[in-house]
């Protein structure tokens, strides 16, 4: 089974509990300030448990989340969200004025064609002149600080994390081993294609999207080779 079908459950929420509503508010403040305007409909693509969806709606925006994980969607059942695969989304053409993709939710699939299907879906769903944001890892920053092994305690559970970069596939991988009370340890995998800024920009242009700006964090600093993030903002031409 593909790693993204196994990992995004309760254990994922436990490991990333520090990614909270306060962080989502910071991200959405940046989005609202940078994208501007008054969107009629906003899609939180790969929304997870919906923290960004909630932050968008607190600002009065008509936001909807979509995610493959039923477990994550059920975590906040009162937030408007639907289940869907980002390669083939269950929405009509030109439905959304904004499509937002937070927290490195691009590059999951092993086949390049599948990853670029996601970009094609963003193009299809955006209205003419619609805006998009992709929040991606900065490959150079991650590789420079890649910690091969980490051990931590989380709510009394031992968590072992192994990280490595596969040059052949150009993917950054993470193996997470969680000790289970009274049972066998649970092991999960994360694996993301480590695209450069140039690769993502070329893919976006190929799909039919224009890049307007790139940032290195959600404070609005310009992207540099050592930036923490690669945040791309752009639009669909009319």
Nearest residue to 207 (alpha-carbon basis) of 172, 234, 230: 234
- The pLDDT tens digits for 17-54 are 878 899 999 999 999 999 999 999 999 999 999 999 99
* pLDDT at residue 100 tops 70: yes
Report pLDDT for 155.
73
* pLDDT at residue 212 tops 90: yes
Among the ranges given (77-81, 96-100, 126-130, 186-190), the one the predictor scored with the smallest mean pLDDT: 77-81
Helix or strand run (H / E) with residue 214: strand 210-215
- 175 near 162, Cβ under 8 Å? yes
Confidence of residue 115 (pLDDT cuts 50, 70, 90): very high
The residue written with tokens 């991606």 in the block is: 136
Nearest residue to 171 (alpha-carbon basis) of 4, 27, 1: 4
The sign of the dihedral angle between the CA atoms of 162, 217, 121, 9 is: positive
Relative to beta strand 171-178, strand 157-166 is antiparallel
Report pLDDT for 27.
98
Report pLDDT for 154.
74
Phi, psi for residue 217 in degrees, rounded to 5 = -165, 180
Report pLDDT for 156.
74
The sign of the dihedral angle between the CA atoms of 165, 166, 172, 173 is: negative
Indicate the domain borders of the chain. Answer: 3-137+196-235, 141-191
- Most trustworthy range by pLDDT among 18-32, 92-106, 141-155, 177-191: 92-106
- 177 near 160, Cβ under 8 Å? yes
Pick the CATH number of 3-137+196-235 from 3.40.50.2000, 3.90.1010.10, 3.40.50.150, 3.30.390.10: 3.40.50.150
d(CA 102, CA 100): 6
* Mean per-residue pLDDT of the chain: 95
Phi-psi bin for 94: left (phi > 0), alpha (psi -120 to 50), beta? left
- The pLDDT tens digits for 165-211 are 999 999 999 999 988 766 778 899 999 999 999 999 999 999 999 99
Confidence of residue 13 (pLDDT cuts 50, 70, 90): confident
pTM for the whole thing? 0.95
d(CA 189, CA 218): 27
């Amino acid at each position: 089974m593909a790693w993204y079908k196994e990992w995004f459950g309760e254990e994922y929420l436990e490991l990333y509990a520090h990614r909270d509503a306060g962080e989502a508010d910071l991200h959405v403040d940046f989005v609202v300030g940078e994208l501007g305007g008054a969107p009629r409909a906003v899609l939180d693509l790969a929304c997870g448990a919906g923290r960004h969806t909630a932050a968008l709606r607190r600002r009065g925006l008509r936001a909807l989340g979509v995610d493959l994980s039923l477990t994550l969607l059920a975590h906040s059942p009162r937030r408007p969200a639907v289940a869907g695969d980002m390669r083939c989304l269950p929405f009509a053409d030109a439905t959304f004025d904004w499509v937002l993709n937070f927290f490195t939710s691009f590059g999951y699939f092993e086949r390049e064609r599948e990853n670029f299907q996601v970009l094609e879906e963003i193009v299809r769903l955006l209205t003419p002149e619609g805006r998009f944001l992709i929040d991606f890892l900065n490959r150079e920053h991650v590789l420079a600080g890649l910690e091969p092994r980490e051990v931590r305690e989380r709510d009394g559970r031992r968590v072992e994390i192994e990280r490595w970069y596969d040059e052949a596939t150009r993917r950054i991988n993470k193996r997470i081993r969680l000790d289970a009370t009274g049972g066998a340890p649970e092991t999960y995998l994360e694996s993301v294609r480590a695209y450069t800024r140039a690769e993502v920009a070329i893919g976006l242009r190929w799909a039919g999207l224009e890049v307007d700006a790139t940032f290195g964090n959600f404070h609005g600093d310009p992207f540099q080779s050592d930036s923490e993030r690669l945040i791309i903002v752009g639009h669909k031409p009319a």
